[in-house]
Amino acid sequence: MDNTIRIGIIICDRYKSCAGGKCLRAMKEKAGAFEIYDDLEIELVGYTSCGGCPGGNIEYAPNEMLKNRVDVIHFATGMVVGYPPCPRIEYFKKFISETFHVKVAIGTHPIPEDYYLIHQKFGTWNQDEHDNLLKPLLANEDVRLAYQ
């Protein structure tokens, strides 16, 4: 039995120079959206940006990840906590899952405290639609500070 889950990560193009430190740390620690893989080994099989608005790479990157046997594609936490959050994230999720028949998860690492506080201040996440996006990424203050 294969005890490995193969993950692809798509980040917002605004952060294309991101080295992926928080995402990779969360994978290793099985924190944030990776908590659900508690008893599995995680293998990263793809890491790229969306290609910039309106997400030109969304129609190509999943196929490349499938060549590496990706099981789940995660949209990086930056797509949820950026200023503003990606307005196309739900569309991208539906497009990838229905076009490529691969599971899509929202988020990677826990939301850092500074992002949490600024979005709370401006009410960015006060809409019901954000509840499902944030659920796996919200953590207690200690964890948010650790991912600062």
Q: In whole angstroms, how far apart are CA 74 and each of 5, 56, 121, 142, 147?
A: 12, 17, 27, 24, 18
Mean pLDDT of the chain: 91
**For residue 26, what pLDDT is reported?**
96
| Cα distance between residue 48 and residue 56, in whole Å | 12
Q: Which of 8-12, 76-80, 142-146 has maximum average pLDDT?
A: 8-12
Q: pTM to 2 decimals?
A: 0.91
Kindly state the DSSP code that residue 18 receives in the 8-state scheme. Answer: -
d(CA 90, CA 100): 15
Q: Is the sign of the CA dihedral 126, 129, 131, 137 positive or negative?
A: negative
pLDDT at 148 over 60: yes
Tell me what pLDDT residue 41 has: 97
List phi, psi (to 5°) of 117.
Answer: -65, -40
pLDDT at 109: 95
- pLDDT category, 30, cuts 50, 70, 90? very high
Q: Which CATH architecture has domain 4-146?
A: 3-Layer(aba) Sandwich (3.40)
At 19, phi and psi to the nearest 5? -80, -5
The pLDDT confidence band at residue 82, using thresholds 50, 70 and 90, is: confident
Position 88 pLDDT exceeds 70: yes
Q: Give dist(CA 99, CA 18) in Å, integer.
A: 27
pLDDT value for 5: 98
